Amino acid sequence: MISRKVYIYNTLSRRKEEFIPVHPGMVGLYVCGPTVYGEPHLGHARPAVTYDVLVRFFRYLGYKVRYVRNITDVGHLEHDADEGDDKIAKKARLESLEPMEVVQTYTIAYHDAMRRLNTLPPSIEPRASGHIIEQIELIKRILDAGFAYESNGSVYFDVPAYNKKYRYGILSGRNIDDMMANTRSLDGTGDKRSPYDFALWKKASPQHIMKWPSPWSEGFPGWHLECSAMSEKYLGEEFDIHGGGMDLQFPHHECELAQNTASRGQGGVKYWMHNNLLTVNGQKMGKSLGNFTTLADLYKVYSPMTIRFFILQAHYRGTLDFSSEALSAAEKGLKRVLQAAKDSKTLSHSGSGANPEIEKLTESVMDALCDDLNTPVALARIFDAVKFVNQAKDGSLRLSDKDFETLAELFDRIVPDVLGLVDEVQASSEEKTVEGLMDMILEVRREAKSRKDFATSDKIRDRLNSLGITIKDTKEGTEWSI
């Protein structure tokens, strides 16, 4: 039996609530995953690490967790749901690729970047393009319930009609009546009856590549629809937790909630969780600001584990500002924890009884994590444990068998298994082989250069280039990237 009470801040009720699962002992978690049209970047790291710790913590407590995280590979248009190019189709056109080549490339890149952050893979990772039938069925149900209409081959969610029966805006705290009262013209735009309506199905233009047949037109589903369809399919009509970044609250999750309610008479989600966003040197992260840091670039400077530690130092609902100073501090903090974990295994058991200060540490860490996943407080208590290990190391404190038991629970279970902090994620054997070969090749090139055999060193560089490997000579040595 799971005896601990976990409290989660529910965006819907705007307060912390005791977590009571729909099915005893089980957690159904749905998290909005990436739209795979570009290199994974820093913005992907925070939700991935946050929900990874949530999953790990529930499993540690003894829950069976079904963690569903989707891949958006269709229908995410440039301007939210309804307008502009499909992000993936646009990338495909720019790079003369098939859209599914774009999806495959960036899904692999995303998986690799997340694996290095030591995030566990989801239990199910459904793709939007693999669930077109489910999405069409869902549209039919919303149409039958009277909360959608067809217009020129597209289908739109009827927000004013929905708002008459239910309330639209409850998740993001918007009042649609006020919004409508403040809008001069309530005339729809294009095929929409009201400017608040959003697309469930979009008729495709002739040049649009990713399209499917439907009762209404050859087209594609609206972006918000996939998460309603796939969460219901894999977690049921009512499930426990829906997570995502704060930027998804509106319109994405608000629309999801409306779609769920319109089709099945209930919102379907017990707890809505939202992680705050990352800022870079105090500014919101985004491509337009030029602070769009890819994880691949970042990993060259800071280890993925440092980034993970840095993320856990802030509460997931709090702001987190990325700067090189903060990252350097995180690097040092992580080192201290991992060193203490190693030291705790080599210290002598010379004390007796149990040190009450040490004994209560595990309990305090558990309390912090049960309190809406308060990782910064949990880490502060782990640093207390680090302090005790260091005191034992310099001989000013004697540790007993009982103390070592507590420290082992902290350093061998909670730090690696719940917080996911480990020395470094093991590279795959293939990566190790490539790294070994590159070391060897660059050494041969260095030797050629040192005896002024530039023909050989240039030939090595050119051959590597033709394999897609670029090398750069710096003061510290030669850097390479694929």
Instruction: Please report, as ranges, the residues that interact with Zn ion according to CB under 5 A.
Output: 32, 227
Interior angle at CA 301, CA 296 and CA 307, nearest 5: 75
**Nearer to Zn ion (CB atom), residue 32 or residue 410:** 32
**Nearer to Zn ion (CB atom), residue 228 or residue 313:** 228
Alpha-carbon distance 46 to 241, whole Å? 17
Closest CB 258 distance from Zn ion, rounded Å: 13
Interior angle at CA 52, CA 333 and CA 379, nearest 5: 30
**Nearer to Zn ion (CB atom), residue 227 or residue 229:** 227
**Nearer to Zn ion (CB atom), residue 32 or residue 273:** 32
Contact 17, 10 (CB under 8 A): yes
Closest CB 200 distance from Zn ion, rounded Å: 14
Residue 123 dihedral angles phi and psi, to the nearest 5°: -70, -35
Q: Can you list the alpha helix ranges (DSSP code H) found in 185-282?
A: 223-235, 254-264
Alpha-carbon distance 377 to 316, whole Å? 12
Beta-carbon contacts of 405 under 8 Å, excluding residues fewer than 6 positions away, are none
> In this structure, which amino acid lies at residue 337?
V
Contact 461, 428 (CB under 8 A): no
Closest CB 227 distance from Zn ion, rounded Å: 3
Closest CB 72 distance from Zn ion, rounded Å: 7
**Nearer to Zn ion (CB atom), residue 169 or residue 244:** 244
**Nearer to Zn ion (CB atom), residue 40 or residue 244:** 244
**Nearer to Zn ion (CB atom), residue 32 or residue 320:** 32
Interior angle at CA 272, CA 270 and CA 274, nearest 5: 165
Closest CB 94 distance from Zn ion, rounded Å: 25
**Nearer to Zn ion (CB atom), residue 267 or residue 304:** 267
Closest CB 76 distance from Zn ion, rounded Å: 9
**Nearer to Zn ion (CB atom), residue 217 or residue 231:** 231
Question: Residue 478: beta bridge partners?
Answer: 473
User: Which token pair is 93?
Assistant: 């056109």
Beta strands 198-203 and 154-157 are: antiparallel
Interior angle at CA 43, CA 40 and CA 49, nearest 5: 90
Contact 410, 382 (CB under 8 A): yes
Using a 10 angstrom Cβ sphere, with 0-12 exposed, 13-18 middle and 19 or more buried, the burial of residue 296 is middle
Contact 255, 233 (CB under 8 A): no
Closest CB 195 distance from Zn ion, rounded Å: 22
Closest CB 346 distance from Zn ion, rounded Å: 47
Beta-carbon contacts of 110 under 8 Å, excluding residues fewer than 6 positions away, are 34, 36, 40, 44, 71
Closest CB 221 distance from Zn ion, rounded Å: 12
**Nearer to Zn ion (CB atom), residue 227 or residue 399:** 227
Closest CB 252 distance from Zn ion, rounded Å: 6
What is the dihedral angle through the alpha carbons of 344, 348, 354, 358, rounded to the nearest 10 degrees? -20
